[in-house]
Amino acid sequence: MSADLRGPRGRGTRRGIMLILSSPSGTGKTTLAHRLIDQNPDLVWSVSATTRPPRKGETDGEDYFFLSDADFQAKVEAGEFFEHAEVFGRRYGTLKAPVEDALSMGRDVIFDIDWQGAKLLTEQAPRDVVRVFLLPPSLKLLKDRLVRRGQDSEDVINSRMNQAKAEIEHWSEYDYVVINDEFSRALEELAAILRAERLKRMRHPWLTDFVEALLEE
pLDDT at 1: 34
**Spans in the chain with pLDDT lower than 50:** 1-9
Cβ atoms 65, 51 nearer than 8 A: no
Residue 72: the pLDDT is 97
The Cα diameter of the chain in Å comes to: 70
* pLDDT of 84: 87
Superfamily of domain 18-46+107-216: P-loop containing nucleotide triphosphate hydrolases (3.40.50.300)
Laid out side by side, the sheet with 81-87 consists of 65-66, 49-50, 90-95, 81-87
pLDDT value of residue 59: 92
Q: Phi/psi at 37 (nearest 5 deg)?
A: -65, -40
Which pLDDT value is given to residue 8?
37
DSSP letter at 81 equals E
Overall residue count recorded for the chain in this entry: 217
188 to 27, 42, 132, 196: CA distances (angstroms): 16, 17, 13, 12
DSSP codes joined into one string, 121-159: HHHH-TTTEEEEEEE-S-HHHHHHHHHHHT-S-HHHHHH
- Could you tell me which of 198, 82, 43 has the C-alpha nearest to residue 130? 198
Mean pLDDT of the chain: 89
At 61 the pLDDT is 87
